[in-house]
Structure 1
C-alpha cells in the first residue's frame, strides 16, 4: 500500500517521535509513505480565526500537491491537520464560489479526488487488526490504557465520517488487540485546550487537568493519543498541572504509534520515547520488559 504523507509542522518539530514511530510502524506493516514535496502548513487554529479563505486555501494547496503525486490517499497524523484537510476538501466540493476563490489564489484547480485519512484509519481499515495481532511480538500484558481522541479526530461527524464522535473505539480496539486493557472513561473526546496554548494558558491548564484527573480516576497507567497538540498539553504541562492541583499524576502520554511499535518488537530508543517529558521507561520496563 502506497500513500501520500502529510507530516505537518508538528511532526517535523515538537512531535518528531510521532513521525519516527509512525514511519517505523508503516515500514513494518507494509505501508509505503511518500512525503508530499514542498508541503505547507495547514493553518491549524490560527488561519481559520483570521481568514476563512486562507484556512481553506492552505490545506487545498497540500491536497493538490498530493493529487499530483498520482496517489489516491493522503495520510495526516496530526488530528488538527487531518481535520483541516477534511474540512477544506468538503467545503470546496460544496461551495462553487469558494472553490473559484481558492483556485484564483492557488492558480490551480482545487483537489477533489484524493481521500484524506488519519493513520488510525489506515491501520484499522486497510491493514486490519487481525494482521496487526498476528504480527505482534510483545503483548501489552494488561497495560491499563486511557485512549484519548481529543476533539478534532472524530468531529464534526458529517465531515470526518470516522468512528463514533461521542464514544470512539478505534484506539481502544487497537489496545485490546495488542493485549492491553482499554479503559472505559468519560473524557475521550473532551478538548485539551490546544487552540489556547499560547493565548489563554489558564484555560489549557484547567481543561488538560480535568483530562489527566479523569484518566487517573479511571485507573489508567498511561494515556494514548493520536494528536501532537494533545500530547504536548498533557505531557509538557503535566508538571505545572500537578503543581496547580496539588496532585501527582505521573501519567506517560504516548502516541498510539509508539505503543504499536513496542508491540511489534521495536525498542524505546528506536521509537524516540526519550523525548517525552513524563518518562515512560519505568512503566514500560515493568509492564512490557522493554528497554
Structure 2
C-alpha cells in the first residue's frame, strides 16, 4: 500500500463525488459535505473528473475503463492526495482499476505506457500508481478512527436499529480489502455502535440490491430489493443504511414500485451512511437532505427526537 499523505491532525482527500450524488441522490452530496465539515475533514473536489463507467465501460473495452479511471486517479495523484469516493460502485470500479494498473506497472508496463500516452495527448497528468482509492466508510474506519468518531457524538442514536446494506462493489470488486472481511463485514456495524445505534443482522446485507438488473429484468430486480427490505423489517430494523447511492435508488426511490411487484407494503426508510453519522454529530436534518427521500425518514427522526 502506498505511504499515506495524511497527518493525525488533519485528513485531506481528493474528492470524487461521482454522478449519482450530483443528480438523483443530491442529498448524498449534501450530507457528505456536512459530515466532513463536522469531522474537520478537508475535501478537494475533483471538478474535472469523469464518470467511472459504473462497470459498463468494460463491457465494451477494459482498456476504455482503465484509461478513463487512470485519468481520474491521476487527478488525485497530481494533488498528492488519496482519492475519496462516497459511492460503493465508484469505489469498486476505480479501486479495481487502480489495483490492476499497479500490477501491470510490473507485469506489462507497455500497457500502462499506452494509457499514459493517451492521457498526455489530452494534456492530462500520467497515472503513477502513487496513491490509493478509498471509500468514505474506509476513511472513517481506517483514517479517522471509531474512537475519535465516538468522541464527536453529541446526539447518541440510542434505540435506533440500523440494518447495513453494503451492496456488491464495496466488498467484492477489489482483490484486496484492507478494512473489512468481504464475506462477513463489520465496519458499518462498528460505525453504528460508535454512534450509539444498534446493528441489525439479516441475510441480505452483503447481497446485490438488484440495481444492475433493473433496466432489463425489472420485476426480478424489484423482487430482490423487496426481499432484502422484508428481511430487514422482519429483524426489527428502523431503517436501512447504505454506502452506495445506486443501492439507495433501488431500495428507496423505487420502493413504491417494489411494493407493487411483491404485493406488500414496506415503508422502510433508507439512509445514506453520511446522513446517519451526521445525525449523531448533531447536524440539522435540513442540512442532510432527508426530505428528499421517497420513503419518509420522519419515523427515524421521531425515534431520535430530532
- Structure-2-length-normalised TM-score: 0.90
Match of 2:96 in 1: 87
Contact 1:156 1:165 in 2 (8 A): no
Match of 1:167 in 2: 184
Match of 2:261 in 1: 244
CA-to-aligned-CA distance 1:151-204 (integer Å, 9 cap, x gap): 111114523433111111111111111111101111111001222232322231
* 1:97-108 map, 5 Å: 97-107=110-120, 108=125
- CA, structure 1 residues 171+255, in 2 after alignment: closer, same or farther (shift >3 Å)? same
Q: CA deviation at 1:70?
A: 2.7
CA-to-aligned-CA distance 1:19-67 (integer Å, 9 cap, x gap): 1111111111111000013111111122121211111111111001111
Q: CA deviation at 1:245?
A: 1.5
Q: Per the alignment, in what secondary structure is the counterpart of residue 182 of structure 1?
A: strand
- Measure the CA separation in 1 of the matches of 2:32 and 2:14: 14
Contact 1:172 1:182 in 2 (8 A): yes
CA-to-aligned-CA distance 1:101-125 (integer Å, 9 cap, x gap): 3223322532301111110111111
Instruction: State which of 24, 43, 49 in structure 1 corresponds to 2:59.
Output: 49
- Asked if residue 36 in structure 1 is aligned to residue 54 in structure 2, the reply is no
- Alpha-carbon RMSD: 1.4
- CA, structure 1 residues 246+200, in 2 after alignment: closer, same or farther (shift >3 Å)? closer
Instruction: State which of 196, 199, 202 in structure 1 corresponds to 2:219.
Output: 202
Q: Per the alignment, in what secondary structure is the counterpart of residue 117 of structure 2?
A: helix
* 1:88-237 map, 5 Å: 88-95=97-104, 96=108, 97-107=110-120, 108-156=125-173, 158-237=175-254
- Measure the CA separation in 2 of the matches of 1:284 and 1:34: 31
Contact 1:138 1:265 in 2 (8 A): yes
- Measure the CA separation in 2 of the matches of 1:106 and 1:193: 35
Aligned length: 288
Segment of structure 1 superposing worse, 232-241 or 160-169:
160-169
Contact 2:210 2:224 in 1 (8 A): yes
Match of 1:59 in 2: 69
Q: Per the alignment, in what secondary structure is the counterpart of residue 188 of structure 1?
A: helix
Q: CA deviation at 1:80?
A: 0.8
Q: Per the alignment, in what secondary structure is the counterpart of residue 260 of structure 2?
A: helix
Q: Which runs of 5+ in 2 are unaligned?
A: 1-10
Match of 2:19 in 1: 9
